[in-house]
Amino acid sequence: MSSDIRCGRVLIVGAGVMGREYARVLQHLSIPFTLVSRGEKSAQTTSESLGMEVHSGGLDLFLRTHSSQIFDSAIVAVGIAELSGVCSTLLDAGIPSILLEKPGGATVREIQLLADRSEKLGAMVYLAYNRRYYASVRKARETIDQDGGVTSFHFEFTEWPSVVAPLPLSKLVKENWFLANSTHVVDLAFYLGGKPRTLSSYHAGTLHWHPVAARFVGAGITELGALFSYCANWEAPGRWGVEIMTRAHRLILRPLEKLQSSSHGSVAVVPVDIEDDDDLRFKPGLLSEVNDFLNQAENLPTIQDQVANIALYSQICPLA
């Protein structure tokens, strides 16, 4: 994979699992970077794992003792509740280009304020929806282009309460779980299938940690005339998935990391060969995503795009 990177030194904020994954990618690309952690324990663990210095004490302390001017870009890999605060601090420090973990904030208001602030300061903030960069998705896009475009598509974003409910996250983050997590799938579906022109949505049910809804169905038409539908039932078994229909193929991403296909005249569903060595070596999609961010960011949504998408997301599920 090309690493014709035009950016200089990168600042990574967050030394948890995602911070370490980003650091591994930058090490592979031979991009100079600095890693900042809030806690001493995570700093030590990450330092030992990567064989490099990790600055503990948090971003505010780091910026009081180091110049932000040496950084051309930053990657924010902290928890959802801290995303907007860290990104705001980086914007105020003059960082011109920021890759922000999705969804960009814990609430709609946090995301809107970040969009307004970045626009005022002339900075670019991109959302790290890494599933756009899966090898399976790249191959699906190639097939879609060869087949002449998407005619219809369907997606499912069922979440598992047995997994989500015990997570040590704030009440606010869990109540906004559709925005925090399910938009991985929704973003991917509309990235492949096209932006909606019309949408009819329905939701029902409740969970103690997600009181606004537990079951979702809807359908609509994209700007290019493709029909689409979706469903999700968080009270029943299910899994994430996207199915794209062209005039020649049904492309099945279930799990999203794999691609299967069926063709006219057959009910057989066959695996599609994909070049996924990078997705096996690193967190899937991350190497391609970071390459894109540090070059031209052609396929990354901006924080302003996220604000526009929220109008759509809020039709699917009420947001805080």
Task: Tell me the C-alpha distance between 230 and 152, whole Å.
Answer: 11
Query: pLDDT-derived band of residue 42, with 50, 70 and 90 as boundaries?
Result: confident
pTM, whole model, 2 decimals? 0.94
Q: Cis bond leading into 168, ω under 30°? A: no
- pLDDT for 8 equals 63
Amino acid identity of 34?
T
Tokens 């999203």 belong to residue: 256
| Mean per-residue pLDDT over the chain, rounded | 95
Q: Give mean pLDDT, residues 148-165.
A: 97
| pLDDT exceeds cutoff 50 at 130 | yes
Q: If you average pLDDT over residues 285-311, what whole number do you get?
A: 95
The residues pairing with 302 across neighbouring beta strands, listed in sequence order, are: 126
Q: 1 falls in which pLDDT band (50, 70, 90)?
A: very low
What contacts 24+ positions apart, CB below 8 Å, involve 139-143? 139/259, 139/272, 139/274, 139/275, 140/192, 140/244, 140/251, 140/253, 140/259, 141/192, 143/246, 143/249, 143/251, 143/261, 143/272
pLDDT of 3 higher than 60:
no
The full set of domains in the chain, from first to last, is 10-130 (3.40.50.720), 135-275 (3.30.360.10)
Residue 185 clears pLDDT 60, i.e. is over it: yes
